[in-house]
Amino acid sequence: MPDTVKFDINGYQREMKELLGEDSQDSIFFKALDFASEFHRDQRRATKEEFISHPAEVAKILAEELQIYDPVVLTAALLHDVVEDSSVTVDDIEDLFGKEVKEVVDACTKLDQMGLDRRSTTYLTHSKLFDRASTRVEVLLVKLADRLHNIRTLKSLPAGKKQRIATETIEVYAPIAEALSIDHLRRELYNRALEYKFPKRAKPIKQIIRALEESKKPREFMEEVKRLLDNQGIPAQVRYRIRELEGYYDPLRKSVSPQYAGYRVSLTVVAKSHEDCYRALGVINSRFPPLPRSIRDFIASPKSNGYSSLHVRTDVEGESYLIKIRTPKMDRFSRLGPLALGTKGVVLSGQFWKDLSEMVNLMGGYPGAGYREVLKSSQAKEILVYTPRGDRIPLPISSVVLDFAFKIHSDLGERCLGAMIRGKRVPPSHVLNDGDRVEILLADEPVTEVDPELEKALKTLKAKALLARKRQRALENFFREMGESLLLQELERYNLTENVLVSEDSRQVMNLLKAKDLNALCLLIGHDKVRARDFVKFYHKLVGPESHPEDGKGAEAEPVDFNIHDVLEPTLFCYKYSSCCHPYPGQDDVVAVLSEKGLSLHARECTELDRWRVADHDRIHIQWEPMAELGGHRARVVVRSDSARDFLASMSRIPQPQLLRGFTRFNRGTGDWEVVLKPKTVGQVKEIMSHLIESGEDAVFSLLPGYGSMDD
């Protein structure tokens, strides 16, 4: 192939021996280099280079730019494409290079499409990657180096593929680098990807960057700061950096714009000691006044990933600057993140890696938005919140009390009723502020109520994932109990006893209905995937009505009420109050239909049920327990009254007036009033709604999601 760009394998070996040391001659890395060269021998990249150049450069990026010298990681980098592009299997890798190398290579290998579209295959590949990375974080380092080299050589690919790789880099790989706190890697991934993703929008920004690079002002400012420090006897290195495209990117808006950059130039001061850092801050602030509330002390209170510096913002001649003041050790950490703590033979361990492993593990465990949601949360700004003993707990901005509880321990989150902050009791949904001291209030047992709105308010993925799992468990229990109740009622309807459920004949019917056991059958019925009457119908067909006299006659009994459901805990995540007919807790003649999200409640005469062709035998008749508690939710009643006088007269006679939280007229044209209540039980709701309806008012009830103030 005359057009092929040859790879200088001998020169590469010399470079890597220099990086790894002369004693690396017998390392498995160089054996892997020979192995990979052989299996990639006839392959070429789109750049026309020999393919071996790619895995070789990935390993070199790890060693040279990330200072990772672990032979397992570097060997896996060399072999990460071998399984995907040749007949070599992961078992072959294990036999030749060991189990650890095999695990990293396997995690980096893309899944076959298996008949799926590209988007689904990509999602599953990423999910596999994060699942394996939860036990071997090194996987992420190899994939980041792989992506960095790919995007450095992206120019030769077709336009569509460039866009796809750039988008994936912005949404997945750059946020991973951010989560790992490898700042220079994060910046380069963003800068290169954004240029391909937004070529038109990037042009005016690149002109701004070019103008700043040509301007004398940033250098003059740097030199003036250096003179100030020298005059005060503070030895320091000072450098400046013009922000590139990544500084103009807003991950929430998923776009770039000149308006998105809070500052355009950063200045870094590297002083010898902590004391010199604080002295430098004072000297700089005395000459260049800081912007209000812009001083951040990450030396006294490091970020959760270990980052330390002093930050301050100032404006000089119309240009906004971010000044970072740090020691050499902090400066190295800011570039490499926790990798800076290691030396040759670095071992990826410690609290940060434990936290990171937990984060990537959540990417496969949260049934919400998955890994993209986790990566998005890792980009959030932080606040510091304190335990009663003064321990610092970093949390994403706008975190709530329940985030704090789960951050400390999952048991605290499970039993959290709220918190005491500055002497005031607040609910689990209370938004925390930077510097809050929080004392969690605990129930004796795990709280069973799972509020969907509270889950939406959570900011930490750990809390989201654990609460989602808790909700899923609670829903599964609800569906199981629902299915069991409907099945037993259907048996009773046909004069059958529970004994039939343990018979061999019943097991055959369960197999027919694709239920492995009674528990699975109840779940299927609760999920409305199997009807209880289908079980009885198939049972009769199999055994005949007289086959098991000890189980009952098998014929339909005298008419009795069936499909009855007693509402003992009217939780919002199990019961959905339909918007078509607006039933309320305690209302007579309410029926329900099964759905994937719980029981959908309707008034018996609701026309939507007929429109959906819900048969009578599929309607579940609701019976309310008057003393059932509503879980602390507020209620909203919209009352339409032609006369304000009549409405006010009705409100003056309302039963349980202590439950009233206020009312307002929000639509004078139609005479609509909003009444807010804090009922505790189903019986209280029924009493109030009955009063309004009997007073001739047209009243529509709804339970408000979320917790009200705990002072109510």
Residue 422 burial (10 A CB sphere; 0-12, 13-18, 19+): exposed
Active-site residue, 214 included? no
Rounded CA-CA distance 285/290 in Å is 6
Rounded CA-CA distance 183/244 in Å is 13
Hey, how many other C-beta atoms are within 10 angstroms of the C-beta on 709? Answer: 13
Structure tokens at 464: 């989201």
DSSP state, 150?
A: H
Cβ burial 48-72 (10 Å sphere, 16+ → b, else e)? ebbbbbbbbbbbbbbbebbbbbbbb
Active-site residue, 70 included? no
Classify 437 in phi/psi space as left (phi over 0), alpha (psi -120 to 50) or beta. Answer: beta
- Residues 6 or more apart from 391 whose CB is under 8 A from it? none
Pick the catalytic residue: 18, 85, 223, 355?
85
| Torsion sign, CA atoms 248, 397, 186, 155 | negative
| Chain-centroid distance, C-alpha 350 | 23
The long-range contacts involving 361-366, CB below 8 angstroms and separated by at least 24 positions, are 361/130, 361/131, 361/134, 362/461, 362/462, 362/465, 363/127, 363/130, 363/131, 364/127, 364/130, 364/131, 364/134, 365/465, 365/469, 366/461, 366/464, 366/465, 366/468
- Residue 160 sits at φ, ψ, to 5 deg, of -65, -40
Pick the catalytic residue: 34, 84, 230, 476?
84
Residue 556 burial (10 A CB sphere; 0-12, 13-18, 19+): exposed
- Cβ pair 187, 245 in contact under 8 A: no
SS3 691: helix
Residue 124 burial (10 A CB sphere; 0-12, 13-18, 19+): middle
Tell me the residue ranges of DSSP E strands in 306-365. 310-316, 319-326
Rounded CA-CA distance 535/494 in Å is 12
Cβ burial 23-36 (10 Å sphere, 16+ → b, else e)? ebeebbbbebbebb
* CA proximity to 153, closest of 310, 24, 48, 11: 48
Which residue numbers are catalytic? 84-85
